[in-house]
Amino acid sequence: MERAADALGEMMGAVRVRRAIVALVAVAVLYGIAAQIGRGRLPDRIWMGAHYVDNVKLLPTWQQLAEEGAYLVESEILLDSVVVSTRRVAIGLVLGSVAGILLGLLTGWASRIESLADPWVTFFRFAPALALLPLYVVWFGYGETSKVLLIATNVAVITLLGAHQGVRGVPRVYLDAAASLGAGRWLRFRKIVLPAAFPSIFGSVRIAVGLAWVTIVVAELIDARMPSLGYLLALSGTYPRVPTMLIALATVGALVLVFDLLALLLHARATRWMGRTA
């Protein structure tokens, strides 16, 4: 039965991959057609602030994108930017997920702690976390700490809510039945609450992955320093260089997909481990 479930999961995963590939190819073809139609029709001179900028490629062709991409790769600008931004996201994601999940499990399981933490959770839930960036800059300066903590704050809020809702969603009848059979509080938490809350926790982590990349790009746009993907976007918007902008955006999208795939693999491993230890 377990092998059949694994085979079904692999088959569904393969179907999702094929659909994603088909969608990407379709978008690429449509973009190529639009770029060819736009050649000679779109203006190459635009107004930027107080002056005109000439030779602007508003919709670059695939060849122009390939040339720009080759330059960014050969000069190692793109690689350095990816490494810096990915490191910030990974650290912030781990810190925020650990803190958020632990707090969410704690507030969901202990009603007294929930009543104390609820006002703060509500505040951070509805307050835009990006608004904390100026405060973090004042406290921690322009550097890694402020950016990583901003990511961790955003991620912690999302994962806290996911873990809290997952714990609160466990049917009370299951807990009462386990208690009547002599199961202690810790055993009920480990054997009933954690497995039942896991889907909600994992869903919040997947949402947090995308939010972490949005956060770092915005933070790097505000504090545009070389190297970072936000710096590439800020630089390409200043001159402007649309090919560089599109490559940076595509790189961010690809990294989000990679992180989401890693989250799915982690989910599969965790599910199997929980099944063996159940």
Q: How many residues does the chain have?
A: 278
In angstroms, the Cα distances linking 161 to 115, 116, 123, 165, 209 are: 14, 15, 12, 6, 15
Rounded to the nearest angstrom, the gap between the alpha carbon of residue 6 and the centroid of all alpha carbons in its chain is 26
Q: Tell which residue, 37, 36, 38, 56, has the closest CA to residue 46.
A: 56
Per-residue pLDDT, 8: 47
The fold for domain 60-271 equals MetI-like fold (1.10.3720)
Domain ranges of the chain: 1-58, 60-271
Please give, one letter per residue, the 3-state secondary structure of the chain.
Answer: CHHHHHHHHHHHHHHHHHHHHHHHHHHHHHHHHHHHHHCCCCCCCEEECCEEECCCCCCCCHHHHHHHHHHHHHCCHHHHHHHHHHHHHHHHHHHHHHHHHHHHHHHHHCHHHHHHHHHHHHHHHHCCHHHHHHHHHHHHCCCHHHHHHHHHHHHHHHHHHHHHHHHHCCCHHHHHHHHHCCCCHHHHHHHHHHHHHHHHHHHHHHHHHHHHHHHHHHHHHHCCCCCCHHHHHHHHHHCCCHHHHHHHHHHHHHHHHHHHHHHHHHHHHHHHHHHHHC
Q: What's the pTM?
A: 0.82
pLDDT of residue 171: 82
What does pLDDT average to in each consecutive run of 10 residues of the chain (278 residues)?
51 67 84 79 70 74 89 92 94 95 88 75 73 85 88 93 88 81 82 86 91 91 82 85 90 90 82 64
**Torsion over CA of 189, 190, 192 and 193, rounded to 10 degrees?**
50
Backbone angles phi, psi at 42, to 5 degrees: -80, 145
β-strand partners of 109: none
Amino acid 56: pLDDT: 72
Radius of gyration over every alpha carbon of the chain, rounded to an integer in angstroms: 23
- Give me the residue label for tokens 């919040």: 204
